[in-house]
Amino acid sequence: ATVPQHILVTGGAGFIGANFAHWVARNHPETHITVLDALTYAGKRENLDGISPDQLTFVHGDICDAALVESLLDRAPSPTSAQPPIDAIVHFAAESHNDNSILDASPFLKTNATGTYVLLEAARRHDLRFHHISTDEVYGDLALDDPHKFTEHSPYNPSSPYSASKAASDHLVRAWHRTYGLRATISNCSNNYGPYQHVEKFIPRQITNILAGIRPKLYGQGLAVRDWINVEDHCSAIWTILVRGRIGETYLVGANGEHSNIDVLRMILERMGRSPDDFDHVNDRPGGDVRYAIDATKIETELGWHPRFTDFETGLDRTIDWYRAHQDWWMPDKAATEEKYREQGH
Residue 135 interacting with ligand DAU (CB under 6 A): yes
**Of the two residues 112 and 209, which places its CB atom closer to ligand NAD in the complex?**
112
User: Quick check: 170 binds ligand DAU (CB under 6 A)?
Assistant: no
The interface partner of residue 63, options being ligand NAD, ligand DAU, none and the CB cut-off 5 to 8 Å by kind, is ligand NAD
Task: State the binding partner of 219 from ligand DAU, ligand NAD, none, CB within 5 to 8 A by kind.
Answer: ligand DAU
The item of ligand DAU, ligand NAD, none sharing an interface with residue 319, based on CB under 5 to 8 Å by kind, is: none
List the x/- string, 68-97, binding to ligand DAU by CB under 6 A. Answer: ----------------------------xx
DSSP string, 201-237: SHHHHHHHHHHHT---EEETTS--EEE-EEHHHHHHH
**Phi, psi of 334, deg, nearest 5:** -70, -50
Known catalytic residue at 136:
yes
Neighbours of 54 (CB within 10 A): 10
Catalytic-residue membership of 162: yes
Q: Rule CB under 6 A: which residues touch ligand NAD?
A: 10-11, 13-17, 36-40, 42-43, 62-64, 92-96, 111, 115, 133-135, 166, 189, 191-192, 198
Q: How far is the CB of 151 from ligand DAU (least distance, A)?
A: 15
Cβ count near 336 (within 10 Å): 12
The residue (of 133 and 267) whose beta carbon lies closer to ligand NAD is 133
Binds 133, which of ligand DAU, ligand NAD, none (CB < 5 to 8 A, cut-off by type)? ligand NAD
Using the rule CB under 6 A, is 190 a contact of ligand DAU?
A: yes
Strand pairing report for 225-227 and 56-60: unpaired
The residues, any chain, with a CB within 8 Å of residue 231's CB and separated by 6 or more, are: 15, 16, 19, 192, 193, 194, 195, 197
- Cα 149 to its chain centre, rounded Å, is 20
Q: Choose between 66 and 274: whose C-beta lies nearer to ligand NAD.
A: 66
Residue 254 interface partner, choices ligand DAU, ligand NAD, none, CB cut-off 5-8 Å depending on type = none
Alpha helices, DSSP H only, in the chain? 15-27, 66-73, 98-103, 106-108, 116-126, 161-180, 202-212, 231-244, 261-271, 297-303, 312-325, 327-343
Instruction: Select from ligand NAD, ligand DAU, none the partner in contact with residue 224, using the beta carbon and a kind-dependent cut-off of 5 to 8 Å.
Output: ligand DAU
Question: What Cα–Cα distance (Å) separates residue 56 from each residue in 37, 109, 126, 131, 333?
Answer: 13, 29, 21, 19, 26
The correct pick among 133, 218, 268, 316 for binding ligand DAU (CB under 6 A) is 218
What is the smallest separation between the CB atom of 79 and ligand NAD, expressed in angstroms? 31
Catalytic residue among 62, 136, 200, 227: 136
List b or e across 33-48, with b for residues whose CB sees 16 or more CB atoms inside 10 angstroms: bbbbbbebebbbeebb
Supply φ then ψ for residue 189, to 5 degrees.
Answer: -110, 155
41: left (phi over 0), alpha (psi -120 to 50) or beta: alpha
The closest alpha carbon to 13, from 215, 196, 183, belongs to 196
Residue 139 among the catalytic residues: no
DSSP H/E element including 253 = strand 250-253
Question: Given the complex with ligand NAD, which of 94 and 210 has the nearer CB atom?
Answer: 94
Tell me if 219 contacts ligand DAU by CB under 6 A.
yes
CB of 155 to ligand NAD, least distance (A): 19
What residues line the site for ligand DAU (CB under 6 A)? Answer: 96-98, 135-137, 190-191, 201-202, 205, 217-219, 222, 224, 226, 261, 285, 288, 292
> Which amino acids are annotated catalytic?
136-137, 162
